[in-house]
Amino acid sequence: MTAAELRDLAIDIAHEAGALAQRRRAEGVSIAASKSTLADIVTEADREVEALIRTRLDAERPGDGFLGEETGGGEGSTGITWVVDPIDGTVNYASGIPLYAVSIAVVEGSSDPDGWTALAGVVRSPVLGETFSAARNEGAHLNGERLRIAEPGPAGALLATGFGYDPRTHAGDLAMVGRVMPIARDLRRGGSAATDLAYVAAGRLDGYFERGLSPWDFAAGSLLVQEAGGAFLRPESAGVVRRLSLAGSADLVGELRKRALAEG
C-alpha cells in the first residue's frame, strides 16, 4: 500500500471509531480506571474504541504492528506499526466537552518515535465533523482542503499547551509557560494534544508546546504539522524525563525551544 492508501484506510477507520466514541458519549460515560495518577482516567469507551480499531487492522492489515494508548504494543512482521490514541482528550470526553479526537498514525521502521518515519496520520474530531489527514510527501488536508501552517502576526503567537496528569509537574510546566508568554498573543489549553497539533497544521494556532507527551499523542499530529509546512521537534536534553514537544513554523519552534528550555 502507498502512504496515500494507508492514509485513506486510517481515515475510514477513524470515522468508524469516532462514531462509536460519539455514540457511547451520548449514552453516558463510565470511568473504567485511573492510570498513572488519579487524574489520568480511562473510560470504557477508550477501551472499546481501541478494540474496534485493532479488530479492523487485524482484518485489513494482518502482520502490521500496533501501539495503542490502552492496550500497548504488539510487534509486527511488515515493518509498519499503527500508533493509536482511541480518544485523545479523555478528560474532555468524560466531562462532556466536545474537544476530543481519534488519532491514528502509520509509521515505518522502529516503533520508537526517535527511530520511526511517519507515513500517514489522521486526527478525527467526531463532534465537529472534522478529519485532518496527511500522507508523507502528499501534504495535509482538512476534509479534503489543503492545509498550511500560519506565521505569528505582529501581536505575537497564538499558542497552545497542555499539562501532564501528575500534580508534581505542574509548577515546572507553569514556569515554562511564564518564559514563553512574552512572545504569545494568547495561550490555549484545549485538552487534546492531537487536536492542538491538527490546529497548528491548519493555521488556527501558530504554535504548540508541551512536556511529557506519549507517542500516540503526537504520532499523527506531528506529520500533519510537517506536511502543512511546519516543524515538529522533541529536543533531547540531559536528564530530562518529560521531553518537550514543539510545533509551529521553523522560526517559532526555534524561539519556543530557547525559551521553554531556558531554565530546565
Residues in contact with ligand IPD by the rule CB under 6 A:
69, 85, 88-90, 162-164, 191-193, 210, 213, 217
Q: Least distance in Å: CB of 209 to ligand IPD?
A: 11
Q: Least distance in Å: CB of 72 to ligand IPD?
A: 14
Closest to ligand IPD by CB, 3 vs 105, is 105
CA atoms within 13 A on the CB side of 112: 2
Closest CA to 82 of 45, 133, 114, 116: 116
Q: Least distance in Å: CB of 111 to ligand IPD?
A: 18
The C-alpha cell of 218 is what? 503526537
The C-alpha cell of 254 is what? 526555534
Residue 182 · residue 212 · CB < 8 Å: no
Closest to ligand IPD by CB, 3 vs 207, is 207
Closest to ligand IPD by CB, 64 vs 210, is 210
Q: Least distance in Å: CB of 2 to ligand IPD?
A: 29
Q: Least distance in Å: CB of 63 to ligand IPD?
A: 27
Closest to ligand IPD by CB, 3 vs 195, is 195
> Locate cell 501558530: which residue?
206
Closest to ligand IPD by CB, 148 vs 170, is 170
Q: Which residues contact 130 (CB under 8 A, 6 or more apart)?
A: 124, 142, 143, 198
Radius of gyration of the chain (CA): 17
